[in-house]
Structure formats: C-alpha cells, structure tokens
Amino acid sequence: MALRPHRHITNVLRRFLINRAFGLLWSGQTISVLGSHITGSAIPLIAILVLGARPIEVGLLAALSALPSLLFSLPIGVWVDRLPRRPLLMLADIVRALLLLSLPIASLPGQLQMPQLYLVAVLLSACTICFDMAYQAFLPQIVAYQELVEGNSKLGTSSSLAEIGGPPLAGGLIQLLGAPLAVLFDALSFLLSALSIGLIRVREVQSTEPPEKQGRHALREGLHALFDDPLLRTLAIYTTIRTFFGGAFAALYTIYIVRELRIVPALYGTLVALGGVGALLGSLILPYLTRRFGSTRTLLCGAFLHSVLALLTPLAGGPTLLVLAILGISQLLGDVGFQLYAIHEISLRQGRVPLHLQGRVNALIGFLVSGIAPLGTLLAGIASEYIGIRFTILCGAGGMLLSTVWLLYALTRDR
C-alpha cells in the first residue's frame, strides 16, 4: 500500500510530460525561459546603470534587438529545414550562453562598452529566432499529431509561469548582484537547456528536396505550404492584420495607463502581471475546452474574447478603483483568450505543414508579424498626435475586433 502514492505521482508525471523526449524539451525550455527574463531586464540596466547610456543609445539597443527578426527570419527558416534540428537547438543555446558570459567577463576589468552590448543584443536576438523556429519545427517530431495542442499548452504554461515569476526574480538578482553578474544565471539556464535537448533521442527529419530547390526556390515551397492551405492562409492573414492593430494598441498602452489614467507604476506592474496570470489560466484550461468544444471553436472563442476585452481599456473611466477593476479584467481574461488562440494557431500549423517545411513556414509567419508590427506602432504614434492617445487605442482595439469578426466569418462560411 505504501507504494501507491509513489505510483500515482509517477503516473501523473508521465501523463504530464507526454513522453521522455517531450519531458526533456519541456524541462530545458522552462529553465531557459525563466532565465531569459533576467537578461530582458539586465541588458537595458547594464546600458543605463553601468555604461551611463543616453536615451538615444537605449533606444538604439532596443531597435537593434528587434532588427534580426526582420532581416534574418527567412534565411534562418531555410536553415532550420536543411539542418538537423536537435543540434541546431543545442548550438543556439550554447552560443547564447557564451554571448551572455562575455558581459560579466568584460565588466569585471571595466572593459565593457556600448558597441559590445549592441553586438551581443543583435546576436542574442538572432540565436533566439533560430532556437524558436527550430523548436517549433522540432515539437511535431517528438509528439503525435493529436498531442500537439497538449504539448503546446504545457509549454505555454511554463512561459506563463516564467512571465509571472521571472521579473521579480530578475529584480532581486539584479539588486543583489548587479546587472552584469545577474546574466550569469541566464547563461547557466541556456547550458541546462542544451544539456536537456542533447539527451533527447529521436530520428531527425532531413530535407528530401532536390538541390535545385534548395536555393532561391526554397522559400517558394514554404509560401505554397502556407497559402495553398485554406485554413493556414486564413490564420496567416488574420494574424498579420491583428498584429498590425495590436501593435498600435500596445505602443500606447503604457503611456495611456500612466499618463492619461494616472495609474502609479506599482499598480501598472500589477496589471501587467495579471496578463501573465491570464495566460497561465488559458494554458491550463485549454485541453479541457478543446476536448469539449473542438480546436476551431476554442480558437475562435479565444480570439473573440481577447478582442472584445481589449475595448475595455480605452473605454475605462470613473473612480480609480473602477478603472483598475476594468483594466484588471481586460488584462486577465483578455490574455486567457489570447492564449487559447495562440496555442491552437501554432498547433494547427505544426499539424498541417509537412515536417521538412516547418522552418520556412514558421519563418514566413515571423517575417509577416515582425514586418507589420512596427508599422502599426509607428502609425499609432503619429495618429495619437492628431486624435489623442485614448482614441488611437480605441481604433487599435476596434481593428482587432473587426479582424476577429472576419476570421469568424471566414472559418464558418463553408460549414
């Protein structure tokens, strides 16, 4: 009888981890994502507190970090499809660890300068893009088609927990050790992730394309795989349009909350944290909702919930407590909806795209998103000068809702 609790826990873990390969990937990714929150906070603070960077230098650092997504995502997608994905994942983790280790090594003798920080930011971003694309293409190789939603849901749970616990951990380590030394923990997390992935044993999918199709025709194959499939084409169009309006919404969210609504920074941080809680709840309830209502209905409900609740933000008004309650509901339940949509969107893409084209299709989606989001951000800044911040955010939220109504029509008209 004494063995039964132990067996019960073992069975629960086996069901949670799906299989050994997924368990190793999940373990490494959980540690890595938690550590990445340290770097996300530490690198700007190194620039500001250690190097005395001016605002324009901090802005340039952020811009350089975003640049690889636009410039390198498409060729990286081709590499992901040509090369074995497990070694590529390990290489990306190891290079990221070495890049981060260079910061405390250079800072100890006082040799760290802004050009090194710029270079590390660019290369770190490029390696992260490589890892993310290879990881999304690798998951269908280690779990069955019917387990993709479950696997992405559990990985999403890890990301949500990291979003909740990562910033306080980062703040504590930076306060205790200083920003340069704090990144050592993220470097260690990447090494642990590489070790976990290295322990995975799975047959790699090699490209079967003839040599003449591995040059300039490679991306065309990815385009056909994405846009010849009616469902994937619809989701790609929706994701692009929604990202445009979402970029306009997100660009002004912080200044709207702090300046227009006069919410103090501590309460603003709490509102952001509620988004992480909502994403966690969405990941946890997603498997049940999928079994109960199916993938398409759950995806549509998630997209609709997120879009409708985004309207609450520009409409918030009245006493401070009422405003906080409205904003809190928007963040909490809105991120539940977004998580329901996002996990199903990537799961459908992984399940419908051939394994040898996963990298290119993921790269195309990333390119569309990274290309359209800055445009929405830029236009939002310009529009806010003429029509005000609140109305610009309202236009962004309204655009997200209208695009979701189109998605609902597009996915249900042929049924």
Which domains can be identified in the chain, with CATH numbers?
Answer: 7-201 (1.20.1250.20), 219-412 (1.20.1250.20)
What is the Cα–Cα distance from 8 to 1, expressed in whole angstroms? Answer: 11
Q: Please, how many CA atoms are within 13 Å of residue 220, restricted to the half-sphere of its CB?
A: 7
Sign of the dihedral defined by the CA atoms of residues 273, 275, 279, 282, in that order: positive
Alpha-carbon separation of residue 348 from 149, 192, 288 (angstroms)? 8, 29, 17
Contact, 307 vs 401, CB < 8 A? yes
Q: SS in 3 state form for 70-109?
A: HHHHHHHHHHHHHCCHHHHHHHHHHHHHHHHHHHHHHHCC
Residue 307's pLDDT is 94
Altogether, the residues listed in the chain come to a count of 415
- Asked if 289 and 298 touch (Cβ cutoff 8 Å), the reply is yes
Three-state SS for 210? coil
pTM of this prediction? 0.77
Q: What are phi and psi of 229, to 5 degrees?
A: -90, 115
Exposure pattern of 220-243 as b/e (b: 16+ CB <10 Å)? ebbeebbeebeebeebbbbbbbbb
Residue 4 confidence (pLDDT): 55
Dihedral of CA atoms 363, 367, 370, 376 in degrees, nearest 10, equals -140
Structure tokens at 48: 């500001």
Specify the DSSP element, H or E, that contains 371.
Answer: helix 358-387
- The separation between the first and the last C-alpha atoms of the chain, rounded to the nearest angstrom, is 53
Instruction: Going from the first residue of the chain to its last (415 residues), give the mean pLDDT of each consecutive group of 10, the final group possibly shorter.
Output: 50 63 84 76 77 76 79 85 88 93 87 90 90 86 83 82 72 75 86 90 60 60 88 93 87 79 76 84 89 90 95 89 92 93 91 86 85 81 85 93 94 71
Q: Please answer whether residues 90 and 192 qualify as being in contact, where contact means their C-beta atoms are separated by less than 8 angstroms.
A: no
Distance CA 170, CA 187 (A): 13
Q: What is the mean pLDDT of the chain?
A: 83
Cβ atoms < 10 Å from Cβ of 265: 10
**Alpha-carbon gap, residue 100 to 119, rounded angstroms:** 11
Helix (DSSP H) and strand (DSSP E) numbers for the chain = 15, 0
| pLDDT of 2 | 47
Cα–Cα dist 6/181, whole Å: 40
Q: What is the pLDDT of residue 3?
A: 46
Rg (CA), the chain: 22
Residue 122 is encoded by which pair of tokens?
A: 């660019």
Of the candidates 40, 35, 32, 38, the residue with the CA atom closest to the CA atom of residue 62: 40
- Nearest Cα to Cα of residue 331 among 399, 267, 255, 388: 267
